[in-house]
Structure 1
């Protein structure tokens, strides 16, 4: 009897291949979990070869191959293509005298296959992906206990495949949720920007209607500050629009916007001394939020000079914000502060993968906050 192994021979073959693709296992790298199963199978059944196979449309691909160098064989020459047509184990004790395998190239050819036992890898919805099989070049007999052992090991392989599929689905769901949250954040940012610009336009119109009066000047100043708020908001969220940015240019623009927004005028100076480094935009967004918190807080407590610096430091980057304010209170501990501002800063530093420290500034007389962090690729950063 001729062995029937064509793709068309299996019932619901197109559905079966959809299930194979669902597990996304074909052509994946070697995996120790599957390699241990094939090693155990070969040892327990005393064979020289054990394989975890996945039957593709035109090939039989080996997820794990113990005692064999090949990674795949044509489908029409593999016994696994016949084994997946069964609901239970498929056994050939002496292939040279078995009518199912006489014409098979692995039996009749140089390889000299004589023994095969394969157990289908059966999915919960009734499809066979491939097999866990043991092979040998000598005829063999097996006991029912050995067949049951191989069947149990095939169940272990399926458990691993199901766990892998579950993990992939979980990751996909989390990525979808994250993408949705990013999309919602972008929509909110867009609406905030539109609202701020609308307010600026309304105030500008109102100022023009009032002519050169003092009220018109106050309204015009208010419009300028709101416009600056919009610019700062745009700079803080710039990470959404680019992958990497020039840190020096970004910080200069951000601090200029902050100076205008806070109405610093000639009484307050915010200086920036930053080496033009290319950083992931997510990292710059975090630094922008930190600058906003520290500068605002420094001016709130009487500082008239603020210095923002960024430069390489050994294998890291050193980012500092210094001021000439009255300094921190005695016993100040960042981790014990109850204020929202410091909690935001420590959270941002943690997301940067950096460390935060503070000390009295000898030149300005106030406080220096220092952050040491390592530059990262944007894909490695957690979301803000």
Structure 2
């Protein structure tokens, strides 16, 4: 049984879940400590430029905290709105990684109720694919990533399209392995189309599983 399968078996509180949750709490504590140090340094800094730099660093760290929270495994299995979850996740990705590089991320989503754990798994996939797309597009205001989700009576599909170079269009081996492992747990598939205008990656999964 894979690690992902163990994590969700019967929705129980497995040892793996406890370890991941403890690890997440420790990351939260470390980030909070770093933000506190930066905030104190900013309050003691006399130079205006130095204060501005530290304030910018603090804001960036806080954005990473929000992204980390959005990517955390759900504590309980509940039913949530997938579109609302992806919107929150993508807002966190944009603020922590894309906006500072002048990369836009636009969304076209449709409301869909789904279990919190399946939302989390799909969110991890979206994070991997958007991060990969960001590495291909131009920075400085010309990079663009579009995320679209659509639903049929039997399936859910999510596409990530970028306007980057096709030279590195295929996902890297490590990223592809992560995406495929997550999709295996969702009984889903991934399809990549690369061309001179950019790359489109489409993931599809059953609406129910």
What residue number does 1:371 align with? Answer: 203
Query: Where does 1:118-197 land on structure 2 (aligned, <5 Å)?
Result: 179-197=14-32
Query: Where does 1:1-384 land on structure 2 (aligned, <5 Å)?
Result: 179-265=14-100, 267-303=102-138, 304-327=143-166, 329=168, 332=170, 339-360=173-194, 365-376=197-208
When Rg is computed on C-alpha atoms for both structures, the one with the higher figure is 1
Q: Partners of 1:361 and 1:274 in 2: how far apart? A: 24
Q: The residue matched to 2:124 in structure 1 has which SS?
A: helix
TM-fit CA distance, 1:297 = 1.7
The 1:329/1:189 distance shift into structure 2, 3 A limit, reads closer
RMSD over aligned Cα atoms: 2.5
TM-fit CA distance, 1:276 = 1.1
Is 2:154–2:207's contact at 8 Å kept on the other side of the alignment? no
Q: Which has the higher helix share?
A: 2
TM-fit CA distance, 1:356 = 0.5
Q: Partners of 2:168 and 2:23 in 1: how far apart? A: 38
Q: Deviations over 1:331-376 (max 9, x none)?
A: x5x6xx5x312211111111111011011479xx211110110134
Q: Partners of 1:366 and 1:373 in 2: how far apart? A: 24
TM-fit CA distance, 1:242 = 4.6
What residue number does 2:4 align with? Answer: none
Is 1:280–1:376's contact at 8 Å kept on the other side of the alignment? no
Please report the TM-score for the alignment, with normalisation by the length of structure 1: 0.47
Q: Which moved more, 1:290-299 or 1:234-243?
A: 234-243
Q: Deviations over 1:294-342 (max 9, x none)?
A: 1122222224111112110351011111111112558x5x6xx5x3122
TM-fit CA distance, 1:243 = 1.5
TM-fit CA distance, 1:218 = 2.1
Query: Which structure is higher in RCO with an 8 Å CA cutoff and minimum separation 6?
Result: 2
Q: The residue matched to 2:99 in structure 1 has which SS?
A: coil
Structure 1: where are the runs of 5+ without partners? Answer: 1-173, 378-384
Q: Partners of 1:223 and 1:242 in 2: how far apart? A: 33
Q: Partners of 1:240 and 1:340 in 2: how far apart? A: 27
Q: Partners of 2:67 and 2:53 in 1: how far apart? A: 21
Q: Partners of 1:241 and 1:308 in 2: how far apart? A: 27
Q: Deviations over 1:165-224 (max 9, x none)?
A: xxxxxxxxx98x961221222122112112212211211121122145323222222221
Q: The residue matched to 1:239 in structure 2 has which SS?
A: coil
TM-fit CA distance, 1:265 = 4.1
Structure 2: where are the runs of 5+ without partners? Answer: 1-8
